[in-house]
Each structure stands twice: as C-alpha cells, then as structure tokens.
Homo-oligomer: A and B are copies of this chain.
Amino acid sequence: MRMAELSAESGVPVATVKYYLREGLLPPGERTSPNQARYSAAHVQRLRLIKALTEVGGMSLASVGAVLEAIDGDKTPHRTMGVVQEELAGTPPQVSEEAAQWAWELLDGIVRRNGWGELKRKHVGVVNLVAALATAKELGHEKLAERLEEYAHLALRVAELDVDTVTGLTSFDKIIEAGLVVTVLGDRIFAGLRHLGQELLSREVLGDVPD
C-alpha cells in the first residue's frame, strides 16, 4: 500500500506519518523506485501501536521511540521489558533524603520478608517507586504506605496474570509486543477497574446519592 492508504488504514494523518518516518518511529517503506515506497500491514500495526502507547499509555513520542528501538533491536525479552519499564517510570521527583530512606527500608523489608530476592537500589523502577512512596509521606499520607505489603501481594498476583497471559504465545516477537501491551495498556485498564471498584465501595461507605 502507499501513503494515502496507510494513513486511511491507521487513522493517522499523512503529515503525521511523514513526521514519524522522519523521527524514526516508523521504519521506511520498501523502495519501488528512487523516490517511491510501498508500506505493509506491519506499518499499519506499528502506527496503531504508537497511537496506543501515546494516547492510552500517555507516553511521549521520545519514550515510544526508545521502546520501539528496543523491540526492533536484538535485546533479550527481559532486557527489552527493562527498557519499557524505564521509559514508563520517567524521571522521579526529588524527595528529601529521610523520606527516601524511610520508603526504601519499607520496600526492602517487604521484599526481604517474602523472599522476593534482592532489591536493586538504583533500578529505575525501584527508584521511582521509592520516590512515589516518599512523596506520599511528605504530603502527610503515610497511611497509604503502611498498607504497602498488602498492595504488594495483590500486585504480585496481578503480575502472575500478566506473565501467564504473555507466555501462552508462540512467536518470540509476539511475546515481546504482548509484554509491552500488557504492561502499558494493562496499567491503564487495571487503574480503570480499580477506580470502578473505589466508586462502588465508596458509595456504600460514604452513602452518596447516585446521579
């Protein structure tokens, strides 16, 4: 297919497709002549993926680019998912030294107590999680963190579902893309379900009238 059809199929404007090509988010089409190209279904899928990651996942194009590069590269699945988590985590907010220390000990204690291995202090995901916990404390809402172990157990069960969903697949490439989708869209979907649950339960507790 050519530009126009690629655009129509994916729902992305022609000018934007060209921009993505320039930025390297979309691999160039197969040349049919020095200045003409042909695009495939893979290009459509790639555009849909970019849309999903930015619109649903809320990722920046720069992050999407880094993730796509990791996918296309020859990294192991584990390392590729590492890049995904890195980009999702972003840059952590700076927090006070003591709040960070408190959060670290809290988290490390839980991991240690449950035999979940060793917590790496400079792992991006860990740093971000610690910063988020520290932020909650600085806001005076450390109650949230006091329940952390219960949250962690539930999170592990969610992760079991995630891994289970992905490992059922056959193709290597499919597994990586599925991992990406499960992580990025999965976060949003779970948050949505959680909010629904909060609303259901808080209505009972707070006893508000429905609208």
Contact = CB atoms under 8 A, between A and B. Distances in A.
Interface of A: 11, 45, 48-49, 51-52, 55-56, 58, 76-79, 81-82, 85, 88-90, 93-94, 116-117, 125-126, 128-129, 131-133, 135-136, 138-141, 143-144, 146-148, 150-152, 154-165, 167-169, 177-179, 181-183, 185-203, 205-206, 208
Contact of A163 (B52, B181, B205): B205
B160 A78 contact: no
A195 B13 CA distance: 34
A174 to B, nearest CB: 9
B76 A162 contact: no
A194 B76 contact: no
Contacts of A197: 152, 155-156, 158-160, 162
Contacts of A163: 198, 201-202, 205
A63 to B, nearest CB: 12
A210 B206 CA distance: 47
B128 A159 contact: no
A52 B93 contact: yes
Given A93-B55, A178-B143, A208-B76, A191 B201 contact: no
B159 A194 contact: yes
A88 to B, nearest CB: 7
The prevalent SS among residues of A at the interface is: helix
A51 B94 CA distance: 10
A91 B172 CA distance: 33
B78 A206 contact: yes
Nearest to A94: B11
Nearest to A182: B144
Nearest to A193: B155
A200 B143 contact: no
11 contacts: A48-B138, A77-B206, A81-B202, A88-B191, A125-B195, A125-B196, A125-B199, A128-B188, A132-B189, A144-B185, A147-B165
Given A144-B185, A144-B189, A178-B143, A195 B85 contact: yes
